[in-house]
Amino acid sequence: MSIPAIRNDWAVMAIFTVAVLTAPLWLAPIGANYPDLLQKFAIFGIFAIGFNILFGLTGYLSFGHAVFLGVGSYTAVWSFKLLTMNVLPAVVFGTLMGGVFAVLIGYVSLRRSGIYFSILTLAFAQMSYNLAYSVLTPITNGETGLQITMNDARILDGPVGDGLPSTTLFGLEMSGYSGFYFCATMLIIAFFISLRIFRSPFGLKLKAIKSNQTRMKYTGFNTRPYLLVAFVISGMFAGLAGSLMAITDPLAGAERMQWTASGEVVLMTILGGTGTLIGPLLGVGIIKYFENIFSALNEAGLHEFFAFMPDWLENIVVAVSSEFVGEGWHLTLGVLFMLVVIFLPGGVMEGIRRTTAVVRNLSKGPEKKAAESVGKE
């Protein structure tokens, strides 16, 4: 089991890397290949992968993970304001600050388990959000969001020219496709780390905690540090994702920390498949695609799409489907959540697993099956 597994992991990484880097190509047919959405896929991918390290491996459901995302963003923007428009310090500080907050919140919250843990994390996140929105406005710029301005210090960059400076990686601007490739690189690194954790003894111990924490204690493990480390790692992933949000778009708003944002990553992970490596990424893809593409469809667009139908049928189809797009995109998302969880416990990954099983069964061919059934007798 040892050697093939390693080779397999490298194969997974190779396929994943190629898939991510060529995303602008294969996402083109569904209209999802423009830079901003690609960046969002990568950024929320990192967020969800990190969340999955906590929730998928240890079973601890944090309902306040967005706070680390927000902290990462604020830190990154402050790095742009005070130090330099170069993104590297922003990434480093954003990730670290996510980690620092995760240590503080995790240390306290992990004293409880189950729903009590969930509510503790939720409470910390909501407090952060409410304060950032109002009282902490000097640090966060409240509702408007923290932005870079002309008269920021930026001690490493020196005076700016005409207009607001852009975020750069040693001169390469971090907007558009270059921004995506930067995020994609981070996603690949994040996925690699996640893969290693899943396959490591540490990962196995986390899974064991999820399966039976009491037993872990009598097996000789102090589970608290394991949980805290998992919590901090996933907090740092969130901090990284937050800093990348600020890098591709240097504005950090408080609503990034609201419970709905925390809930979103929970939904993404469950929708895709909790505890699977790829599942959270699929969840991210689905939800972000709905949010950005489905919400933008309108009747005119639908008429174009269904133009091949006879007029009367076209009108009916458009009338029905328009309830589900544009302002109805929430409805579609709600229906989708229900369908997935009713028919595919285990999320989209479960669906893929079932499909491949069916395909494999079919491809086995009738003779083999016959042979098998004979063998059984």
Q: Binding to other proteins (CB under 8 A): which residues in 45-104? A: 55, 59, 61
Of the listed pieces 78-86, 172-180, 234-242, 361-369, which binds other proteins according to CB under 8 A? 172-180
Q: Kindly indicate which of the ranges 84-92, 205-213, 235-243, 367-375 contains the residues binding other proteins, using the contact rule CB under 8 A.
A: 205-213
Interaction between residue 30 and other proteins (CB under 8 A): no
Question: Residue 222 and residue 307: Cα distance in Å, rounded?
Answer: 64
Which member of 12, 123, 160, 352 binds other proteins (CB under 8 A)? 123
Stretch that binds other proteins, among 3-11, 76-84, 356-364, 368-376 (CB under 8 A): 3-11
Q: Does 1 participate in binding other proteins (rule CB under 8 A)?
A: yes
| Identified binder of other proteins from the candidate list 15, 111, 355, 369, rule CB under 8 A | 111
Instruction: Show the beta-strand stretches assigned E in 4-128.
Output: none
Size of the site for other proteins (CB under 8 A): 119
34 binding other proteins? (CB under 8 A): yes
Contact 245, 256 (CB under 8 A): yes
CB burial class (10 A; 0-12, 13-18, 19+) of residue 176?
middle
Inter-residue contact 257 to 125 (CB < 8 Å): yes
For residue 362, the minimal CB distance to other proteins (Å) is 25
With CB under 8 A as the contact rule, the residue among 83, 103, 147, 353 that binds other proteins is 147
Enumerate long-range contacts of 225-228, CB under 8 Å, 24 or more apart.
226/58, 226/202, 227/58, 227/60, 227/106, 227/110, 228/103, 228/106, 228/107, 228/110
Report the residue number, 260 or 362, with the smaller CB distance to other proteins.
260
Helix (H) or strand (E) holding 63: none
Instruction: Write the CA distances from 142 to 10, 132, 137, 195, integer angstroms.
Output: 45, 6, 4, 37
Choose between 97 and 206: whose C-beta lies nearer to other proteins.
206
β-pair partners for 86: 168
24 binds other proteins (CB under 8 A): yes
Q: Spell out, one character per residue from 315 to 354, where the chain touches other proteins: x when CB under 8 A holds, - when not.
A: --------x--xxxxxx-xxxxxx-xxx--x---------
Nearer to other proteins, 327 or 372 (CB): 327
306 binds other proteins (CB under 8 A): no
Q: Does 266 bind other proteins (CB under 8 A)?
A: yes
Residue 217 binding other proteins, by CB under 8 A: yes
Q: In the beta sheet, which residues pair with residue 173? A: 168
Among 162, 311, 367, 377, binds other proteins (CB under 8 A): 162
Interface with other proteins (CB under 8 A), residue from 85, 271, 286, 287: 271
What secondary structure, in 3-state letters, does 324-373 show?
Answer: CCHHHHHHHHHHHHHHHHHHCCCHHHHHHHHHHHHHHHHHHHHHHHHHHH
Cβ 147 to other proteins shortest distance, Å: 6
Q: Which two tokens stand for residue 244?
A: 């990348």
Contacting residue, 13, 185, 221, 353, with other proteins by CB under 8 A: 221
- Of 97 and 333, nearer to other proteins (C-beta) is 333
Structure tokens at 359: 């395909």
Q: Are 244 and 183 in contact (CB under 8 A)?
A: yes
Stretch that binds other proteins, among 74-82, 93-101, 224-232, 368-376 (CB under 8 A): 224-232
- Which own/partner contact pairs does 19-27 have at CB distance under 8 Å and 24+ positions apart? 20/184, 20/187, 20/188, 21/181, 21/184, 23/184, 24/177, 24/180
Task: Please calculate the CA angle 210-198-354 and round it to the nearest 5 degrees.
Answer: 85
Q: How far is the CB of 80 from other proteins (least distance, A)?
A: 13
β partners of residue 251: 147
Binds other proteins by CB under 8 A, chosen from 83, 92, 103, 267: 267
